[in-house]
Amino acid sequence: MRALRISLILLVVLGGLFVLADRVAVGFAEDEAADRIKSTEGLTVTPDVSIEGFPFLTQVLGGELDDVKIGINDYEASTGGTGSATGTIRIDDLDAEMHGVAFSGDYSSATAGSATGTASISYAELLKAAKPEPVEVAPGVKAQIIGLSDGGNGKIKVTVSATVFGKKLSEPVSVLSSLSVSGGTVKVHADSLPKLGVQLAEGRIRSITDFQQKIEQLPGGIKLDKVEAAPDGVEISVKGSDVRLVG
C-alpha cells in the first residue's frame, strides 16, 4: 500500500509538472507566433494569438496544431487601386480561427488548412466609400448621403439629404438597402428609391444611394464571404483555405 501511495503521488506530481511545462510552452509559442504574424503582415499592433487544444506539446511533435485563434484590432485593409488611387479601410476587429495549422521544423512558416472568422467595419468608415459630397442628380437638384446606420433584419439604412433649386429639403430621407459580397467587394443596393419631391431617373439617384467598397489583402489571404448590417457597423464573415500565417 505504501508503495502504491508513493507511486500515485509521483504520478500526480509528474502530471502536474507536465501540465505546467505544456502551459509554459504554449504561452511562449503564442507570443512568438504573435510577433511573427505582426512582422509578416506589417501590423502596427501585436495581434492576440491563442493556441487551442491540449496537450500542446503532443501537437508540436505531430507537426500540426488543431486550432489557432487570431484577433487583430484596427487592421488597415487595402481598397485596391494603383498609384495615388490606392487607399485603405480600417477594420475595427478581425477575428479568425485557423484549423489544421501545419508548420515547418524551424517554425519559419505556418499554413492553416482552412480558416473562418468575422470582421467589423464602422458605418463612419464605410461612409467614406459612399461619395458623401453633394452630387447633381438632375438640373437644379443635388443630393448626398449623410449617414449610414442599422436598418434591422440585416439591412443598412442610407440617409440622404437633398437641395432642390437651392432649397434644402426640410428633413433628410432614408431608404433600406441590401448588402452583398462579390469577390472582394462589399456592395450596397437600395431596395427602393428615396422621394426627393421631383421626378428623377433611377440611374441618377442610384449613383448616390448605391455604392461599393473593395476590401483586399486580408491577413493570410482570407476572403470576404458574407456581410450584414449590425448595430455599430457591418459584420463580415471571412473564410479561406491554405491560409499562410507565417513565412
Mean pLDDT throughout 111-122? 93
Taking the C-alpha atoms of residue 67 and residue 148, their distance in angstroms, rounded to an integer, is 36
User: What count of residues does the chain have?
Assistant: 247
Quick check: 71 pLDDT over 90?
A: yes
Please give the pLDDT value at position 171.
Answer: 85
Query: With pLDDT > 90 as the criterion, what percentage of the chain qualifies?
Result: 32
Please give the pLDDT value at position 1.
Answer: 54
- In sequence order, the 6+-apart residues with CB closer than 8 A to the CB of 173 are 159, 160, 162, 194, 195, 196
Mean pLDDT throughout 178-192? 92
77, 41 Cβ separation under 8 angstroms: no
Sign, CA dihedral 155-173-92-189, equals positive
Please give the pLDDT value at position 4.
Answer: 42
Mean pLDDT throughout 10-14? 41
Taking the C-alpha atoms of residue 122 and residue 189, their distance in angstroms, rounded to an integer, is 18
Please give the pLDDT value at position 141.
Answer: 84
SS3 148: strand
Please give the pLDDT value at position 189.
Answer: 93
Please give the pLDDT value at position 48.
Answer: 92
pLDDT level of residue 133 (50, 70, 90 thresholds): confident
Taking the C-alpha atoms of residue 42 and residue 215, their distance in angstroms, rounded to an integer, is 17
Please give the pLDDT value at position 21.
Answer: 59
- In sequence order, the 6+-apart residues with CB closer than 8 A to the CB of 94 are 71, 72, 73, 75, 117, 118, 119, 218, 219, 238
- Looking at mean pLDDT, say which of 18-32, 55-69, 75-89 comes out highest: 55-69
Mean pLDDT throughout 119-141? 85
Query: Does this model's pTM top 0.85?
Result: no
Please give the pLDDT value at position 86.
Answer: 61
pLDDT level of residue 181 (50, 70, 90 thresholds): very high
Please give the pLDDT value at position 188.
Answer: 93
70, 62 Cβ separation under 8 angstroms: no
- Burial letters for 145-176: b for 16+ Cβ neighbours within 10 Å, e otherwise? bbbbebbeeebbbbbbbbbeeeeebeebbebe
Please give the pLDDT value at position 32.
Answer: 83
Query: With pLDDT > 70 as the criterion, what percentage of the chain qualifies?
Result: 84
E-assigned strands of the chain?
A: 48-51, 64-78, 88-103, 110-122, 135-138, 141-152, 155-164, 167-168, 173-182, 185-190, 211-214, 223-230, 233-246
Quick check: 114 pLDDT over 90?
A: yes
Quick check: 59 pLDDT over 60?
A: yes
